[in-house]
Structure 1
Amino acid sequence: MRLNPNVQKPEMHKNTPEMNFVKSLGKGAYGSVDLYGYTKDDGTMFYTAVKISDHQNYDSVDTEFRILSELRGCPGIVQLFGNSLLQGIDFNGTKVYKMAMEYAAAGTLTSFIRRNRKLSDSVIRDFTRAILQGLVSIHSHGYVHCDLKPDNLLLFPRYDEGTWYCSYELKISDFGLSIKAGDKSDCWETDSPFVGTHAYMSPESVRDGGTVDKTLDLWSLGCIHPWSGVSVDDLKLRLLDENAPEIPETVPCGARQFMEKCFARKPEERGSASELLLHPFLIGDQRIVDAGAGGERRRVGSRIRKSPPKLDGITKAPLKLKIISSKASQIKRMSNKPLKLRILPPRSA
């Protein structure tokens, strides 16, 4: 998307509270993301993630800001703060543009999988459902995300101090490469025919010269699944050969059928995000209360071994979590069941 010279440059709000730098959250091709905090009127701390881009990458951050503004309040989408980009100066004296968003304290799906290693089928279903709900929001506004991958999926912990229960809400982030469905991406080049991260791109997006369709995101969703067992290098090779990733035999039948749907050779056979939400793999015993809005929303839950820190603080070390079912009835049964203890005599020296 080209910069419109008639668009007024963003300016710093006069009433913007003073924010203090906390730490760097990461760097990407179009800028960096830092964590900032400020003290609210009641004395508590509020934290926000701030994406920072220089003037050379203004088009990308401006595109992302405009799309997130349209998706404000939509389920499954990282939320934007403020009504305009903020303009500032970095430590080198270079003009930069800042975009404030909600802070995902649990990090990315990539880091979550690394910490928890193997995820249960129920957790995978919940995460998949959340991604599709976000895609329904994106596609209903006429956009294609174009860079759906674990690094761009954020997890937000929600703590219940009474039960010591932690649930997770997954949201899609990073819309710097997103464009309108049917448009051609400016990123596509003959010697580098990829729109986004090539390991997650669909064959037709490479073959057809960069024309982008909504079904591209559905192919990317199939590549994300943590139980697929497919390496990134294998995804690259199969993409160049226009072959779908090989699904391991260990993948459950329902999940296999879901992935095969995502990897359909003909894009139109993949269906839509709304249709995939009704796939048997995701429905199970779930009651779909509103298929048009993406179905029933659930959060992935886990019980932690000690009382969680306050949300207004920053956790210095990651919590070790054990993933269990998020059904409230199971939590109730666990809390009512008496504990059985076995006392062992002290060991002799």
Structure 2
Amino acid sequence: MQSNEEIVKFLGEGAYGFVNLVKYTKRDGSSFHAAVKNSYAEDFENLQKELQILCQLRGYPRIVECFGDYLEEGFSSYGNKVYKLLLEYASEGSLRSFMDNYSDRKLPEPMIRDFTRMILEGLVCIHGHGYVHCDLKPDNLLVIPSRDSSSYELKISDFGNSLEVGEIPHYWRFDLPFVGTPIYMPPESLIDGVVEKTLDLWSLGCLVLEMYTGEIPWLGLDIDDLASRLLYDEAPEIPECVPCDAREFIEKCFSRKPEERGSASELLSHRFLRREEDEKMEKVIAVVEERRNSFLLKLKLRIRGASKKLADVSEKKPLKLKIVPSKAPYFKKVLTKILRLKTMDSYLVCS
């Protein structure tokens, strides 16, 4: 498909290989940039699985886009054979590097709410296809400027550790109990050994907490201390500076019983994620409802007062009605007199 490729720069390195920014020039002269994930032969299966998952999730706005339906082959700078996965390039890098641009790594609250909503939208897609990401963390979330460049979009990437719902990974054993990165893993990862969707929701709670505090969860603990804390169903501490609705959301994600965390779609309706315009509309509706209830109450009181007056009147003596005769008899009497006088005048003239 490509006629020429040029490595622009090195982007990073992970557990399953390294990533380069590559410029591809097609035969018609057009070009595009891609973040190319390179893996060696021993990690081919993981990269192939990631490609298959990304192909199923292709077109969803909160999932990083992959180019092509197969892995490309090439060689590293050392002459080793590598397999390449072409991915959408995120110019702002990972969420971790993006947070480094802010004071104390703390993101603005509106941005935290927007990013949380975007992650959940991505999880709804992933879980809806029967997968669990298993390694949600700032390194695996990519920040991309929106089309108008006034805000940012967040996309979920790196599906190398992803598993199907209910799957038991062969490497989930006591000496290596975590599927993904330990500090973002829930207590059940030490006990159950079965992958469920709620695993990602605990990781989300850790992410939201980190965006507020600027610090990674379980800061200062080694792997043994962390395992001990999780075995006793402990969760990362939420400081008082975190807003009330955000605290409630994080606590929901940190529920000790996985089923109490709900689902990604349910968490999307949490009050922590209500948009500002939705809150304004709710306030308007509340005011209208309050005025309506006030009007109905006043109307009810008026009706009650009128009913009381009618009751008071009925208890008194009946009113005597004065019948005023109509003017018809009086008019008839006058007319009779005039006719009588006219008759007399006629009689006198004749005589």
Q: Given the two structures, how large is their TM-score scaled by the length of structure 2?
A: 0.73
Match of 2:207 in 1: 224
Q: 1:249 to 1:227 in 2, by over 3 A?
A: same
Q: Which residue of 2 aligns with 1:215?
A: 198
For the 8 Å contact 2:9–2:21, the answer to whether it is kept is yes
CA distance in 2, matches of 1:62, 1:45: 25
Find out whether 1:245 has 2:236 as its counterpart: yes
How far apart, in 1, do the equivalents of 2:25 and 2:214 lie?
44
Aligned to 2:310: none
Query: CA separation of 1:35/1:284 partners in 2, compared to 1, >3 Å: closer, same or farther?
Result: closer
**Partners in 1 of 2:275 and 2:245 — Cα distance?**
10
Q: CA RMSD in A?
A: 1.9
Instruction: Encode CA deviations 1:38-62: one digit per residue, 9 max, x unaligned.
Output: 3357756421000000110011101
Indicate if the aligned counterparts of 1:75 and 1:137 stay in contact, CA closer than 8 A. Answer: no
2:118 to 130, 141, 145: 130
Q: Deviations over 1:164-198 (max 9, x none)?
A: x4321110000000010100123312212111100
Distance in 1 between the 2:256 and 2:202 partners?
A: 10
Cα distance in 1, alignment partners of residues 147 and 118 from structure 2: 19
Q: How many residues align?
A: 269
**Secondary structure at the residue paired with 1:269?**
helix
Correspondence for 2:90? 104
Partner of 1:4: none
Structure with the bigger percentage of helix: 2
5+ residue gaps, structure 1, are 1-14, 289-349
Using the TM superposition, give the Cα deviation of residue 74 of structure 1 relative to its aligned residue in structure 2, in angstroms.
Answer: 1.3
Is 1:141 aligned to residue 129 of structure 2?
Answer: yes
Distance 1:245 1:233 in 2: 6
Residue identity matched to 1:263: F
- Residue of 265, 273, 276 corresponding to 1:282: 273
Paired residues of 1:230 and 1:247 also in contact (CA < 8 A): no
User: Aligned AA for 1:239?
Assistant: L
2:167 aligned partner:
183
Instruction: Give the percent of matched residue pairs that are identical in Structure 1 and Structure 2.
Output: 56
Change (3 A) 1:24 1:230: closer
Amino acid of the residue matched to residue 192 of structure 1? L
The answer to whether the 8 Å contact 2:2/2:26 transfers is no
CA distance in 2, matches of 1:240, 1:51: 36
1:270-315 deviations in Å (ceiling 9; x for gaps): 0000000000000143559xxxxxxxxxxxxxxxxxxxxxxxxxxx
Matched, 1:268 2:259: yes
What is the CA-CA distance between 1:18 and the residue it aligns to? 1.4
SS of the residue 2:35 aligns to: strand
Against the structure 1 CA distance between its residues 286 and 189, is the aligned structure 2 distance closer, same or farther, given a 3 Å change threshold?
A: farther
1:341 paired residue number: none
Greater relative contact order (Cα < 8 A, sep 6+): 1
Q: CA deviation at 1:241?
A: 3.9
Aligned letter for 2:124? V
Matches within 5 A, 1:1-349: 15-39=1-25, 45-117=31-103, 118-158=106-146, 160=148, 165-208=149-192, 210-225=193-208, 226-228=211-213, 231-234=216-219, 237=226, 238-287=229-278
What SS does the aligned partner of 2:21 have?
strand
Larger Cα-atom Rg: 2
Q: 1:83 to 1:229 in 2, by over 3 A?
A: closer
In structure 2, what is the Cα distance between the partners aligned to 1:189 and 1:44? 50
* Aligned AA (1:21): I
Could you tell me how far apart the structure 1 residues matched to 2:59 and 2:86 are? 15
TM-score, normalised relative to structure 1: 0.73
Q: Whole-Å Cα distance in 1 between the matches of residues 114 and 180 of structure 2?
A: 25
The letter for the 2-side match of 1:145 is: H
What letter matches 2:186 in structure 1?
S
Q: Which amino acid aligns with 2:150?
A: C
CA deviations 1:245-271 (Å, max 9, x no partner) are 111011100000000100001000000
Asked if the contact 1:258–1:279 (Cα under 8 Å) also holds between the matched residues in 2, the reply is yes
Residue 293 (structure 2) aligns with: none
Which blocks of at least 5 consecutive residues in structure 2 are unaligned?
280-351
Distance 1:96 1:74, change over 3 A: same
Deviation for aligned residue 1:231: 3.8
